[in-house]
């Protein structure tokens, strides 16, 4: 099957893990992302540890963000991310449940896309400090095409909305 290509775009990916060797899972996922066809790594954030969102009784997450330049289409990139998750032992169970690895396509250039199984920008990223913090570290000036605000501005907005409390 030929790969779907576009002009090179900057894509931002959130990485998270709360099962097994969390650091290794994120490092392995990052390494696999770097080898995708038509893809060049740009930056990888530091790892942060965060409380889980979702059902109780889960371990804390390690979270990070990565930015890449890619000629893959958004759908081809998402499909590749899902294959990477599966190769690293991800088993899809209950929503927001524990996982060995979670890879979310957050931004894809200035694209706004809403189709079955793929929404870009990610519909929840503006509400998640565990995505915005790492993303602001590596791509602070990248703009959310829906709001027109930079990642750094969105992070500041979210911190104010949370009363300065990291969540």
Residue 66 sits in a domain of what CATH number? 3.30.70.560
**Does 143 reside within a domain?**
no
**Does 167 reside within a domain?**
no
**Does 117 reside within a domain?**
yes
pLDDT mean over 27-56? 93
Residue in 42, 75, 104, 159 annotated catalytic? 104
Residue 34, domain extent: 5-121
Q: Domain count of the chain?
A: 1
Residue in 102, 126, 144, 158 annotated catalytic? 102
* C-alpha dihedral, 65 to 99 to 24 to 119, nearest 10°: -30
Catalytic (active site) residue 102: yes
At 97, the pLDDT band (50, 70, 90 cuts) reads low
Residue 82 neighbours by CB distance under 10 Å = 15
**Does 165 reside within a domain?**
no
**Does 99 reside within a domain?**
yes
**Does 131 reside within a domain?**
no
Which tokens hold the place of 40? 């060049």
Residue in 22, 99, 126, 158 annotated catalytic? 99
**Does 113 reside within a domain?**
yes
**Does 116 reside within a domain?**
yes
Task: For residue 64, give the DSSP letter.
Answer: E
Helix (H, G, I), strand (E, B) or coil at 111: coil
- Of 1 and 54, more confident: 54
Catalytic (active site) residue 104: yes
User: pTM score, two decimals?
Assistant: 0.90
Catalytic (active site) residue 99: yes
């Amino acid at each position: 099957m030929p790969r779907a290509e576009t002009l090179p775009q900057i894509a931002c990916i959130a990485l998270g893990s709360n099962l097994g060797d969390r650091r290794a899972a994120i490092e392995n996922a990052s390494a696999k992302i770097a080898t995708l066809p038509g893809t060049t790594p740009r930056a990888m954030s530091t790892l942060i540890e965060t409380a889980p969102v979702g059902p109780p009784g889960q371990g804390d997450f390690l979270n990070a963000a990565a930015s890449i330049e890619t000629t893959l289409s958004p759908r081809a990139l998402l499909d590749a991310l899902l294959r990477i998750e599966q190769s690293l032992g991800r088993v899809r169970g209950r929503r927001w449940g524990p996982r060995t690895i979670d890879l979310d396509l957050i931004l894809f250039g200035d694209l706004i896309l809403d189709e079955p199984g793929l929404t870009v920008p990610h519909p929840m990223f503006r509400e998640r400090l565990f995505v915005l913090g790492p993303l602001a570290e590596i791509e602070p000036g990248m703009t959310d095409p829906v709001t027109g605000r930079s990642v750094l501005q969105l992070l500041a907005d979210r911190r104010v909305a949370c009363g300065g409390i990291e969540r």
